[in-house]
Structure formats: C-alpha cells, structure tokens
C-alpha cells in the first residue's frame, strides 16, 4: 500500500501530533513511517512543483516526524537529507523576513509567511540518536514550516497574503508587504 498525501481538511493536519515513543523505534514503526513519507514525497509532482520536505501528518499520521529530501534537480545550493523525530526549535533568530511559501497539502495556493531567518533544531534521527542542527535561509524556513505541521498549523494559517497558484505569474512578494 503506497502512502498518499491527505486532503487539506484531514484531521491529522489540524491536530497537535503525538511524540514518537521508544517502543515505536524498537518495533519498526518509525522505519515504516519514514519509508512511507519518502515515497509520498518522491512521487509528488503537481504541474512541475516538487517537494523538499514532508511531515507525517501530511500522510494522515499524527506523529512528530518530518524529513527533508530535496526533489529538485535545479537547485544550486542543495539541501541536506535528514529525518527529524520529536523535533523542537530550541533557538530562533530575532530577525525575521517575509518569504514565499507553498505546501504539498495545499497544492493550489502559495503565500507570504513571516519566518525567522535562522533557527536551531533539536531532534532524534531514525536510530533515535539526538542531534542539533543550525539552519539559515531555505532550510530554516523548512524547519519552521514542518514544525508547524506537527502543531496542526498550515502555512495558510500564518500567511500575511495568499495567492492561487494560477495567479503567481502576476504576483511579486513585495505586494504582500
């Protein structure tokens, strides 16, 4: 059975996700979940848009797991591939900026969202080992977006302005300010 993205109104996308337990690492639940998430991310393609990250709620599983795996072949500064389990943003920069943002779960819309320019993430990897990772730019934005998913928040809930994707050619981010 392949993992599919759930619709925007799915309850998992609007609930606070549960922590992953040590038993779920031990019994293979985490491994299966990460595998299903990877498959859903790799098979996503909507009119040329590809994904860079996915959270478990996006496939209908309300667990605190996300992964970053850039599906773009054109990006100059490639993103690291990583899994974040029970993640917490432990540090946020004072500075923030308005950024363009989209989401696999809200495929028809794009928005302008205020995000911290730098963050530090603390999480467990697939083996249950704790790590900390600082991030700036796109990776910092992704960490914040995915952590929002785990708290039941979609980018459209935070966006200062939202556009329909078909209108994007006529829009600049400066219009959102």
> Which residue ranges are tagged as binding site for Fe cation?
103, 145, 149
The string of DSSP codes covering 26-51 is HTTHHHHHHHHHHHHHHH--BTTB--
Cα distances (angstroms) measured from residue 140 to each of 62, 70, 145, 159: 22, 14, 9, 17
Residue 157 is given by DSSP the state H
Rg (CA), the chain: 16
List the one residue out of 103, 118, 7 whose CA is nearest residue 52.
103
The string of DSSP codes covering 76-121 is SSPPPPEEEEEEEEEEE-S-EEEEEE--TTSTTEEEEEEEESEEEE
As given in the structure block, the two tokens for residue 74 are 């054109």
Question: Which positions are annotated as active-site residues?
Answer: 146
Annotated binding site: 103, 145, 149
């Amino acid at each position: 059975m392949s993992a599919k993205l759930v619709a925007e109104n799915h309850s998992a996308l609007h609930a606070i996700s549960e922590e992953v337990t040590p038993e779920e690492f031990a019994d293979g639940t985490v491994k299966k979940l990460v595998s299903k998430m990877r498959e859903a991310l790799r098979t996503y393609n909507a009119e040329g848009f590809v994904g860079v990250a996915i959270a478990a709620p996006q496939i209908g599983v309300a667990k605190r797991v996300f992964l970053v795996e850039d599906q773009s072949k054109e990006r100059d500064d490639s993103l690291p591939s990583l899994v974040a389990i029970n993640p917490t943003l432990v540090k946020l920069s004072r500075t923030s900026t308005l950024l363009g943002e989209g989401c696999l779960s809200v495929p028809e819309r794009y928005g302008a969202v205020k995000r911290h320019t730098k963050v530090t993430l603390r999480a467990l990897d697939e083996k249950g080992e704790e790590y900390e990772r600082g991030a700036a730019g796109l990776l910092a934005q992704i960490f914040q977006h995915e952590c929002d998913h785990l708290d039941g928040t979609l980018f459209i809930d935070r966006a200062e302005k939202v556009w329909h994707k078909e209108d994007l050619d006529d829009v600049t981010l400066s219009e959102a300010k």
